[in-house]
Chain A
């Protein structure tokens, strides 16, 4: 495998006048400031270790930057020329070489790699870390199993600097799953020293401090307030990052985050309302990167186990009655990829996400509803997650208004963020909006979670169809064995079925939006949608 200096492509955009800091900074501080990146976001980590119990999404960002994995992804030019991770190309990170054979992959570790405390990284650490990820339970174990990595016996120490991963079954997702955030390499001796009998994997220890060998280390963490990360100057698993220090502050008020950016005090922010991003983009003082979520879709789901949504005609009627364009224009200010209104003669592609052929057509919707035996409509509730109310609330109001026109009277049911997952798990909500996005960008991965009869949490509609299951299983097998013709046929088959049966109606592919000062460059889009500090540059 060839290593590429991916920074080169990334720094191409570096330009723009230096934004002057406010007068309150003294000159000594100005120096510190030019090497420091100040990020503001709504919420911060609750745990610095992704293996921890209930680690939240901001915690993933810390793990990504403070721990190394065996392999990472190459970058490619994404939409608008922004570096976008390349799903199919891997690059070495902690491993300097990877050899894949039929039923195993062998990784040779860098001999000069050290953890933050100076201990050399050995195969023992890698094995212990991978064992930990498949053993601690909860989310990390679950994510590993998505790539058929389930048992500690699969990870074998060959010698001090060589590790072999044995495949349990042939699975196309095994290698990509080794490049996600979870299989990070942890300083095993350090953590073992701090483990207790009750906590053999030392989760309590790594929760509060980073024990890795990644490009950054956390030097201070005040939960809910700030995280300060310093560069690890001895890092060897990639080109030396340019940013020396990252200060990540939690600013709960969106308006203030925007003010901080526009005044030039903060360098980067995400999690702003769409309207703000739109306005920031328009006034041109800052750079805004908007990229579609990989393998992510916001949709309207319907519970297919209960009337009236057990009738495909009703579901199709709803699909014809949704105000797609209005949602994209008025709720997202155009910052989304439409997943609707493909022209009638467009052939189905071997890709996901792709737009379906429904469009807003009230006459057709009414006819279908009458055909289904509900000429006067019916009453139901539409539920949404208040945690993402900025998008969900106006979206549901538009849907409510539109469905009203074909006689479907809906009551809006707002569910607090803490309660949302419980409600989803119950699978009782008749009609709701939700978003799903998979870390691994493969159609069969998405469909396995969302449409398969195994009925995972994300098959929120409780949809079951033998034909669908056959197609999904077929595609997974075909992908593993490399049978392209069978794979293509199965993918097209399950996409078509998902669109004719419409248990869920895709609305749009959401965008991840990041606003930054003009002197910041090197932003990379990753499947986890968090920042990779290693590539960022402050001019």
Chain B
């Protein structure tokens, strides 16, 4: 098993190298001149040249690339110009924020989508099937920022039930000591109930927004794959043998229907992690999505490269975990290099 994991990771190396080269070239090919952008509102040509020299952008491309890879090997992702911080630190601080939100959103959505999908599949044409269809259609067709804004408008602005959409914690609450970077977990470790409550309250609306959006693919996939499995021979045999409907559905059918659902989950997760920029913007969430987009807008090379690289690594890891999960769920699937 371990050697197989090692082998899989080895295969990921060439693709990571490819990612490094491509992002480097792509960011350089972007229109816009970071030196002019950062030279400030009233810089003349000479001031811009001075900035360019300081940023090392006057050097030939190959030299810039070599320096970049050398820094990368030391774990140095460079400095962001827009926020002024080292990219590695920034990603380390922001990744947990995005991950906490995304995982929680996914968890909520799984808890609703899977039972919904199963129920819809077992009673096709019933009201629950229609409910499933309506929610999933609504979920995919409502853009996340719209759902987010509506939720903020109703629950914060109109009703006042939800705290101000000001990021991960209430403005006056103090951050729990950093252990995992997940505020819910960190505040529990520190036994800081106030921080926990604050972090939890702040999470409710963005989590709901993400859950509504990711409900659709998971519920649809559960329903479709359950329908296929339920009409297969072994389910008919199980039913004919007089097993209880519960045993048939949960033990036999669902376990077999899990594989495509897991695949969808992994795709939804990686998609959400990078693409919940809009949710982050609406809720002033200090995540990596908004970080990368802001960097892109201001031609800030280092964070964009760092972000793409991090995402590539995440994809490799998620795929690996999914492959391992396949093996656990269905012993027929072998983890092969």
Flag B35-68 by CB within 8 Å of A: 1 or 0 each.
0111111111101101100110000000000000
Is A53 touching B54 in the complex (CB atoms < 8 A)? Answer: yes
A419 contacts chain B at the CB level, 8 A cutoff:
yes
A416-B38 contact in complex given A24-B163, A47-B84, A139-B47, C-beta closer than 8 Å: no
A260 contacts chain B at the CB level, 8 A cutoff:
yes
Measured in the bound complex, the distance between the Cα atoms of B167 and A38 in whole Å is: 14
Is A251 touching B284 in the complex (CB atoms < 8 A)? Answer: yes
Is B281 touching A253 in the complex (CB atoms < 8 A)? Answer: yes
A343 contacts chain B at the CB level, 8 A cutoff:
no
B126 contacts chain A at the CB level, 8 A cutoff:
no
Is B170 touching A253 in the complex (CB atoms < 8 A)? Answer: no
B164 contacts chain A at the CB level, 8 A cutoff:
yes
A260-B166 contact in complex given A32-B172, A53-B55, C-beta closer than 8 Å: yes
**Closest CB-CB distance, B240 to chain A, in whole Å?**
58
Is A251 touching B81 in the complex (CB atoms < 8 A)? Answer: no
Measured in the bound complex, the distance between the Cα atoms of B283 and A52 in whole Å is: 30
Surface stretch bound by A, among B2-10, B149-157, B216-224, B241-249? B149-157
* Chain A residues whose C-beta falls within 8 Å of the C-beta of B36 in the assembled complex: 421-422, 425
Flag A457-477 by CB within 8 Å of B: 1 or 0 each.
110000000000000000000
Measured in the bound complex, the distance between the Cα atoms of B37 and A57 in whole Å is: 12
* Chain A residues whose C-beta falls within 8 Å of the C-beta of B55 in the assembled complex: 53
Is B47 touching A224 in the complex (CB atoms < 8 A)? Answer: no
Flag A25-45 by CB within 8 Å of B: 1 or 0 each.
100010011001010100001
Contact of B39 among A40, A54, A265 (CB under 8 A): A54
Measured in the bound complex, the distance between the Cα atoms of B149 and A252 in whole Å is: 13
A256-B165 contact in complex given A54-B38, A54-B40, A421-B37, C-beta closer than 8 Å: yes
Is A54 touching B37 in the complex (CB atoms < 8 A)? Answer: yes
A421-B47 contact in complex given A224-B291, A259-B156, C-beta closer than 8 Å: no
Flag A223-237 by CB within 8 Å of B: 1 or 0 each.
111100000000000
Measured in the bound complex, the distance between the Cα atoms of B171 and A139 in whole Å is: 34
State how many residues of chain A have any CB contact under 8 Å with chain B. 57
Q: Which residue of B lies closest to A438 (CB)?
A: B42
A100-151 interface (Cβ within 8 A of B): 137-139, 141-143
Is A33 touching B172 in the complex (CB atoms < 8 A)? Answer: yes
Surface stretch bound by A, among B112-120, B257-265, B293-301, B318-326? B293-301
Surface stretch bound by A, among B26-34, B69-77, B183-191, B229-237? B26-34
A89 contacts chain B at the CB level, 8 A cutoff:
no
A16 contacts chain B at the CB level, 8 A cutoff:
no
Is B41 touching A416 in the complex (CB atoms < 8 A)? Answer: no
Contact of A418 among B37, B90, B160, B290 (CB under 8 A): B37
Is B170 touching A139 in the complex (CB atoms < 8 A)? Answer: no
Contact of A223 among B32, B84, B149, B290 (CB under 8 A): B84
A1-33 interface (Cβ within 8 A of B): 22-25, 29, 32-33
Q: Which residue of A lies closest to B280 (CB)?
A: A252
Measured in the bound complex, the distance between the Cα atoms of B32 and A291 in whole Å is: 33
Is B42 touching A421 in the complex (CB atoms < 8 A)? Answer: no
Q: Which residue of A lies closest to B167 (CB)?
A: A225
* Chain B residues whose C-beta falls within 8 Å of the C-beta of A418 in the assembled complex: 31-34, 37, 297-299
Is B290 touching A252 in the complex (CB atoms < 8 A)? Answer: yes
* Chain B residues whose C-beta falls within 8 Å of the C-beta of A65 in the assembled complex: none
Is B50 touching A457 in the complex (CB atoms < 8 A)? Answer: no
Flag B104-127 by CB within 8 Å of A: 1 or 0 each.
000000000000000000000000
Is B40 touching A139 in the complex (CB atoms < 8 A)? Answer: yes
A138-B291 contact in complex given A47-B84, A223-B83, C-beta closer than 8 Å: no
A307-329 interface (Cβ within 8 A of B): none
Is B47 touching A142 in the complex (CB atoms < 8 A)? Answer: yes
B95 contacts chain A at the CB level, 8 A cutoff:
no
* Chain B residues whose C-beta falls within 8 Å of the C-beta of A391 in the assembled complex: none
A256-B282 contact in complex given A38-B171, A457-B44, C-beta closer than 8 Å: yes
* Chain A residues whose C-beta falls within 8 Å of the C-beta of B149 in the assembled complex: 253, 255
A375 contacts chain B at the CB level, 8 A cutoff:
no
Flag A70-94 by CB within 8 Å of B: 1 or 0 each.
0000000000000000000000000
B85 contacts chain A at the CB level, 8 A cutoff:
yes
* Chain A residues whose C-beta falls within 8 Å of the C-beta of B201 in the assembled complex: 24
B139 contacts chain A at the CB level, 8 A cutoff:
no
Is B43 touching A225 in the complex (CB atoms < 8 A)? Answer: no
Q: Which residue of A lies closest to B157 (CB)?
A: A259
A207 contacts chain B at the CB level, 8 A cutoff:
yes
* Chain A residues whose C-beta falls within 8 Å of the C-beta of B83 in the assembled complex: 46, 223-224
B286 contacts chain A at the CB level, 8 A cutoff:
yes
Flag A415-433 by CB within 8 Å of B: 1 or 0 each.
0111101100100000000
Flag A246-266 by CB within 8 Å of B: 1 or 0 each.
010111110110011011011
Q: Which residue of A lies closest to B156 (CB)?
A: A259
Is A223 touching B284 in the complex (CB atoms < 8 A)? Answer: no
Is A416 touching B31 in the complex (CB atoms < 8 A)? Answer: yes
Most buried by B among A53, A55, A224, A247: A224
**Closest CB-CB distance, A445 to chain B, in whole Å?**
11
Measured in the bound complex, the distance between the Cα atoms of B152 and A416 in whole Å is: 29
Is B156 touching A422 in the complex (CB atoms < 8 A)? Answer: no
Measured in the bound complex, the distance between the Cα atoms of B281 and A306 in whole Å is: 43
* Chain B residues whose C-beta falls within 8 Å of the C-beta of A55 in the assembled complex: 40
Q: A223-B85, A256-B165 are in contact. List 7 more A-B contacts (CB 8 A).
A: A139-B43, A141-B47, A222-B286, A225-B284, A247-B171, A251-B165, A251-B284
Could you list 14 examples of A-B contacts with CB < 8 Å?
A29-B172, A46-B82, A54-B51, A56-B82, A139-B41, A223-B90, A224-B82, A225-B284, A225-B286, A247-B171, A249-B171, A259-B157, A263-B160, A457-B42
Top 3 closest pairs, chain A to chain B, by CB: A54-B38, A223-B83, A139-B40
